[in-house]
Amino acid sequence: MALTKRVIVCLDVRDGMVTKGVQFKANKDIGDPLFFAKMYETQNVDELVFYDITASVENRSLMYKTMERVAQSISIPFSVGGGIRSVEDMERALESGAEKVSVNSQAVQNPELIEYCAVKFGCQCVVLGVDTKRDAMCPSGYRVFTNGGRVASNKDLLDWVVEAEQRGVGEIVLNSIDADGTKQGYDCELLKHVVASVSVPVVASGGAGKPEHIVEAFIKGGVHAALVASMVHFREYTITQIKEAMQKSGIPVRPISE
Active site residues: 12, 131
E strands, 62-168, in order: 78-81, 100-103, 126-134, 142-146, 151-156
| Residue 51 per-residue DSSP state | E
**Euclidean distance between CA atoms 103 and 256, whole angstroms:** 31
108 to 13, 67, 113, 170: CA distances (angstroms): 22, 24, 9, 16
Cα distance from N-terminal residue to C-terminal residue, the chain: 23
Contact present, 50 and 40 (Cβ < 8 Å): no
Q: Centre a 10 Å sphere on the Cβ of residue 55 and count the other Cβ atoms it contains.
A: 24
> Cα(209)–Cα(176) distance, rounded to whole angstroms?
14
Residue type, 255: P
- Torsion sign, CA atoms 174, 180, 181, 187: negative
